[in-house]
């Protein structure tokens, strides 16, 4: 019976797990790597052990049946060295001047450097996968890194899009890391949140009506939290309720922050202080966010979770919340807030906000001028 390369790798990893080696084999393109909890590389800023990859390309080990057998033996060797605290990076490191380095090698080194400078948390893992790895996966892995390959990958993305802008950012960082001199910024295009077609947001009445349609339980509670506090999906799982009805987002895309309920009545009426967190697991914030999106689809909710966040932003204007405070509570800059959300505010919302200002008893009035 023929067994695929991925099947052989899984079999080898099964044997390694059974032997409690603590090292696994991974494949990227035609290359094999070992993954384990390893000491920091030389000159790294970290001091503690953390998950890293070992490139086996310097040993000439490739993703074929013979290579997998050699990789399994190397994994056992590394496992034994780690157990004796005798592991040394030197045999596995390639110099940046090595002309044999492939793009897969550069990505592996870039990742190691990235997490040597940043703690590996759900937040940084989400940034790595979303802003970098998603673009790096578009590159051919078994060729040398060159301006031509990077430029072609950028040009294969649609112009004036968020993906193009992200590709330029990620591949410029990779080129700089590899000492490849070229400025890709001219290829970034003119993508801006202002140019995104405004979506039709649900009204507050529609949001409240949808809440009452959801069966009582964890996902009804989760919906209520997102609607009342305008959170990102994954931030559901990083909340402190000690100051309820004000919530503290403890860990998210932009760190910790306070968020106030708009409407506060929803927080009380929907009994959101009775925490009923959905039983979700995920290695990264992106994984957790996807669980929320899938739950909305499964429950046949007529809009997506981020519509609730956008609706909170628009509602904050009607409440008269200062834009800098609204931006801080949403966890982004004032520039992002004005570029994105004010672009989506309808004429009706502007009119309602203006009417509220006009009806304020303490609003300024024009000077009275009496004619002689």
> Domain-by-domain residue ranges, the chain?
1-93, 95-191, 204-358
Mean pLDDT of 324-348: 72
pLDDT bin (cut points 50, 70, 90) of residue 1 is very low
Q: How many CB atoms lie within 10 A of CB 302?
A: 11
CA distances from 305 to 195, 196, 293 (A): 22, 18, 6
pLDDT tens figures, 122-180:
778 888 888 899 999 999 988 888 889 999 999 999 888 888 889 999 999 998 888 77
Decide if 201 contacts 173 (C-beta within 8 A): no
What pLDDT score does 129 carry? 86
| Beta-bridge partner residues of 32 | 27
Decide if 151 contacts 184 (C-beta within 8 A): yes
What pLDDT score does 29 carry? 66
**CA-to-CA distance for 6 and 25, rounded, in angstroms?**
10
225: left (phi over 0), alpha (psi -120 to 50) or beta: alpha
The answer, yes or no, to whether residue 332 has pLDDT greater than 80, is no
Select the more confidently predicted residue: 286 or 279.
279
**CA-to-CA distance for 217 and 299, rounded, in angstroms?**
12
**CA-to-CA distance for 272 and 269, rounded, in angstroms?**
8
Tell me the CA end-to-end span of the chain in Å, nearest whole number: 107
Question: HEC string of 21-90?
Answer: CCEEEEEECCEEEEEEEECCCCCCCCCCCEEEEEECHHHCCECCHHHHHHHHHHHHHHHHHHHCCCCCCH
pLDDT tens figures, 285-323:
888 899 999 999 999 999 999 999 988 988 887 787 888
Q: Which CATH number fits domain 204-358: 2.60.40.10, 3.40.50.300, 1.10.443.10, 2.60.120.10?
A: 1.10.443.10
pLDDT bin (cut points 50, 70, 90) of residue 262 is very high
Token pair belonging to 306? 């981020």
Decide if 306 contacts 233 (C-beta within 8 A): yes
Half-sphere exposure of 8 (CA within 13 A, CB side): 17
Looking at residue 263, the DSSP 8-state letter turns out to be S
The answer, yes or no, to whether residue 253 has pLDDT greater than 70, is no
The answer, yes or no, to whether residue 22 has pLDDT greater than 80, is yes
Q: What is the DSSP annotation of 204-230?
A: HHHHHHHHHHSPSSHHHHHHHHHHHH-
The answer, yes or no, to whether residue 118 has pLDDT greater than 90, is no
For the chain, what percent of residues have pLDDT higher than 70?
Answer: 86
Q: How many CB atoms lie within 10 A of CB 139?
A: 21
**CA-to-CA distance for 318 and 137, rounded, in angstroms?**
43
Select the more confidently predicted residue: 203 or 188.
203
Average pLDDT over all residues of the chain = 84
Select the more confidently predicted residue: 253 or 115.
115
Select the more confidently predicted residue: 335 or 157.
157
Select the more confidently predicted residue: 243 or 370.
243
């Amino acid at each position: 019976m023929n067994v695929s390369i991925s099947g052989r790798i899984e079999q080898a990893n099964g044997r390694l797990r059974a032997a409690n080696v603590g090292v696994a084999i991974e494949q990227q393109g035609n290359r094999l790597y070992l993954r384990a909890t390893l000491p920091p590389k030389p000159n790294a800023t970290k001091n503690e052990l953390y998950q890293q990859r070992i490139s086996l390309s310097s040993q000439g080990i490739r993703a074929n049946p013979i290579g997998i057998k050699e990789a399994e033996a190397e994994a056992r060797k590394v496992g034994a060295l780690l157990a004796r605290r005798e592991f040394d990076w030197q045999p596995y490191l390639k110099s940046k001047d090595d002309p044999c380095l492939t793009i897969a090698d550069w990505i592996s080194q870039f990742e190691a450097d990235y997490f040597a400078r940043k703690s590996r948390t759900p937040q940084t893992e989400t940034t790595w996968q979303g802003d970098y790895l998603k673009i790096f996966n578009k590159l051919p892995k078994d060729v040398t890194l060159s301006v031509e390959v990077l430029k072609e990958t950028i040009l294969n993305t649609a112009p004036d899009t968020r993906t193009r802008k992200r590709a330029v950012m990620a591949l410029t960082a990779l080129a700089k890391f590899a000492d490849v001199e070229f400025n890709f910024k001219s290829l970034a295009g003119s993508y801006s949140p202002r140019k995104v077609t405004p979506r039709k947001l649900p009204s507050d009445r529609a949001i409240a009506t949808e809440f009452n349609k959801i069966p009582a339980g964890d996902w009804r509670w989760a919906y209520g939290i997102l609607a009342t506090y305008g959170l990102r999906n994954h931030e559901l799982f990083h909340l402190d309720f000690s100051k309820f009805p004000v919530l503290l987002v403890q860990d998210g895309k932009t760190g910790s922050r306070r968020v106030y309920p708009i409407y506060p009545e929803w927080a009380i009426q929907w009994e959101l202080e009775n925490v009923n967190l959905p039983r979700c697991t995920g290695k990264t914030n992106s994984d957790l966010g996807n669980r929320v999106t899938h739950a909305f689809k499964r429950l046949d909710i007529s809009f997506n979770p981020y519509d609730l966040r956008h609706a909170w932003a628009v509602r904050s204007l009607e409440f008269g919340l200062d834009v800098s405070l609204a931006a801080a509570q949403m966890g982004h800059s004032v520039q992002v807030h004005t570029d994105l959300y004010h672009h989506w505010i309808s004429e009706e919302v502007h009119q309602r906000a203006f009417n509220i200002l006009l009806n304020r008893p303490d609003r300024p009035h024009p000077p009275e001028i009496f004619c002689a």
